[in-house]
Chain A
Amino acid sequence: MFSNLANLLRYRGLISSLVARELKARYRGSVFGFLWSFINPLLLLLIYSFVFTTVIPNTTPGAQPFALFMFCGILPWNWFATSLSDAAGSLIAGGNLIRKVLFPAEVLPLVSVLANMVHFFLGLPILIGFLLYARHYPGPTDLIWFPVAVIVQLVFSSALALLLAALTVHFRDIRDILANVLTLWFFATPIIYPWFQESVREYKPYFNLNPFTHLAIAYQEILFFGQIGHWRWLLVLGVVSIVLFLACYWVFDRLRDSFAEAV
């Protein structure tokens, strides 16, 4: 298993070119091309602003403008959710490679996670632009903590991506189950409601069990409030994610030989 993990480093050229291919192929043939990576989050931001300032206004003090607060959690969540749903189908979609070419299968779910990470990065300038406009300036330590949060999320997503990809080969209905689980998970995470809201505080222990809560809070603190108070939880999640990654990689490695026949 560890020699396979070490091989993963050797495949970085392959991974980076597959990520590049993924991004190029996604917008090939569309008029706006890469602009869509900016337009999509912008439109999303406008819709959320309208809904949460006009239709059902959330006036929690400290989280204003509310749409912007929400957006700090939605961008990373989108990276997480699309990574997992892409990764779950990645081995099946790449079946030709696995069946016909000697190909390191773990590359495919990781490419799903990384390609979506690039989309996340492309959405950030929009968010940061609006944050500056609303006078939410980043604090001095943010430049250090933001990459930490991204890396923790990367490890955490990769772990689940590997597990889901390997299991989906054998149980195709995971893809449908996953779609529903992700919707549920989204609403169970303090993203479209602030964690410091009165009604949420009551259930704090339960929210703490949800790993994405800590990521969402970390992003909100770093980007919106400009100072992080949640870093202990973030580091704990980081350690848990590394253990989880090794466990998921172990499962993936065990199932590896069945892929060529089952996809």
Chain B
Amino acid sequence: MTKAIELFNVSKVYRKYGGKQFATLKSAFLQRSILRELQPSETFPALTDVSFAVPRGSTYGVVGRNGSGKSTALKLVAGITKPTSGTVRVDGRISALIELGAGFHPEISGRENVYINGIMLGLSKRQIQDRFDDIVEFAELREFIDAPVKTYSSGMYMRLGFAVAINVDPDVLLVDEVLAVGDESFTHKCLDKFSEFRRRGKTILLVTHSLNLVERFCDEALWLDGGRAMSHGDPKRVIGDYLTSVEASEEQLLAATTARLVEEASATPAAESGARSDATPAAELFDPTSANMFHATEGRWGAREVEITEVQLLGPDSTPAHVFHTGQAMTVRVKVHARQPADDVVFGIGLFNADGVCCYGTNTFIEDIVLDGIERDAEATFAISSLDLVEGTYKMDVAVHKRDGYPYDYHRLLYTFRVKSRTHDVGIYRPQHTWTFSPNVARRPTRDA
């Protein structure tokens, strides 16, 4: 199969001009440094040694987080910028949906702008005349086409830009995150147009954050990270790799946040913060009627006769984790150290969502588990077999206290974890459930099944 787009070992280094951007001519002349001034003071590698090929007629998706080099790659393919090293080869007429309506002049009418924009994109006057009705129809701007473009809303502006660009009838279409331009119905129209392009054997290079779109539309995908190609090939696999990495970095971030929170909260000397315990007995904190429940800030208090030395969240494979999937198992391991033997000990756990709403709270006392004594180093494990929470960030309380609520060591909202879900359900709690239908309800087979 012939290739429509090929990149061989392409690198792009952007120059950081630093303070020199407004260098004066005078200084440049005086120091005979015109050429030196034009040299970069620092460089930033936007793409490093990226190679990929898009076969003619296929749809290729590029994913990656912000600043990963996706748009740079697209600009290189479009020919707007040149690679620092390596070669870019594109076969066929390109239309780039990078900035819609980039060449519109606000003062003149939509009609005139369509002509000029079309000419900029490589059409002849005659060709635009032939397609004019299609363009206006597609943009849904029939009544406004003779009004100056400055009176258009941003949606109208984008729609017109999109309509012109897509009617250039390119062999290669470059799309950079432009589907967010219109309302629902316009987005559908755009997607239909893309499908039509695919059927007609055109090549599409799609840069997007919408992983669903990549999964649905693309034959192949590329994941860029920090300007390097991390994986490419089957979209499902690439997206899987990408999500795994996103989780890994979230994991790191959450681990760092947790470590910072624990350290900050522990910085207050135990004795001093102990005084605060009298004001808010732990039992009250677990009482859903208490106002404190909803206005909690993170902190740590208690005299630490029994001290929580470590709290670990463990994933299904019993390794520390901060990112979980809905329905996965989660284990909380609490390590404590009793300075003197204590005979009145209660372990408590509370889960809060990002709004500070208590999702669940319990302790050993409520559950009639009577702990009679604890000495030196000990450990308690709280295992959730299925974490039935919807997607979001959650915080956790961990406490050891007496049965009357006197806190030994209270960790308030210090432990953060994230729950991910491919389903966009809402609320807090996802009960385990199934849907069934009577036989006369037609059902499309699910793709993932």
A contact set with B: CB distance below 8 Å: 13-14, 17-18, 21, 24-25, 28-29, 96-103, 170-174, 177, 257-258, 260-262
Contacts and interface: CB of A to CB of B under 8 A. Distances in A.
B222 interface: no
B94 interface: yes
Contacts of A24: 107-108, 112
Given A13-B119, A101-B99, A261-B14, A171 B112 contact: no
A100 B81 CA distance: 10
B402 interface: no
B158 interface: no
Given A17-B116, A21-B116, A173-B25, A28 B80 contact: no
A21 B38 contact: no
Nearest to B124: A13
A170 B105 contact: no
A28 B24 CA distance: 36
B172 to A, nearest CB: 12
Interface string B83-120: 00000000000101011001101011000100110011
A102 B107 contact: no
Given A17-B116, A170-B38, A173-B25, A102 B124 contact: no
Given A17-B116, A17-B119, A170-B38, A99 B24 contact: no
Nearest to A29: B107
A28 B105 CA distance: 11
B17 interface: yes
Contacts of B115: 17
Contacts of A102: 78-80, 94, 96
Contact of B81 (A13, A25, A101, A257): A257
A103 B98 CA distance: 13
B99 A21 contact: no
11 contacts: A21-B105, A25-B105, A29-B107, A96-B99, A100-B80, A100-B96, A101-B80, A101-B103, A102-B94, A170-B38, A261-B14
Contacts of A262: 17, 21
B80 A99 contact: yes
Interface string B142-157: 0000001000000000
B108 A25 contact: yes
- Interface SS majority for chain A: helix
A13 B78 CA distance: 22
A248 B271 CA distance: 78
A258 B28 CA distance: 18
Given A18-B116, A171-B24, A172-B22, 4 more contacts: A24-B107, A97-B102, A97-B103, A103-B103
A104 to B, nearest CB: 9
Contacts of A97: 102-103, 120
Contacts of A13: 119, 124-125
Interface of B: 14-15, 17, 21-25, 28, 37-38, 75, 78-82, 94, 96, 98-99, 102-103, 105, 107-108, 112, 115-116, 119-121, 124-125, 148
A171 B28 CA distance: 9
A95 to B, nearest CB: 10
A102 B117 CA distance: 12
B238 to A, nearest CB: 27
B78 A28 contact: no
A256 B107 CA distance: 28
Nearest to B148: A28
Contact of B102 (A96, A173, A177, A260): A96
A28 B108 contact: yes
B112 A261 contact: no
A72 B271 CA distance: 94
Contacts of A98: 80
A20 B156 CA distance: 24
Contacts of B124: 13
B112 A100 contact: no
Select the residue from B14, B78, B120 with max chain A CB neighbours within 10 A.
Answer: B120
A96 B161 CA distance: 14
A237 to B, nearest CB: 26
B103 A96 contact: yes
A101 B102 contact: yes
Contacts of B38: 170, 258
Shortest Cβ-Cβ A-B pairs, 4 listed: A100-B99, A25-B107, A100-B102, A28-B107
A172 B20 CA distance: 11
Given A14-B120, A97-B120, A101-B120, A171 B23 contact: yes
Select the residue from A13, A28, A170 with max chain B CB neighbours within 10 A.
Answer: A170
A18 B108 CA distance: 12
Select the residue from B78, B98, B107, B148 with max chain A CB neighbours within 10 A.
Answer: B107
Contacts of B96: 100-102
B120 A103 contact: yes
Nearest to A177: B25
Select the residue from B14, B80, B108, B115 with max chain A CB neighbours within 10 A.
Answer: B80
Nearest to B165: A101
A13 B80 CA distance: 21
Contacts of A18: 116
A167 to B, nearest CB: 8
A142 to B, nearest CB: 35
Contacts of B14: 261
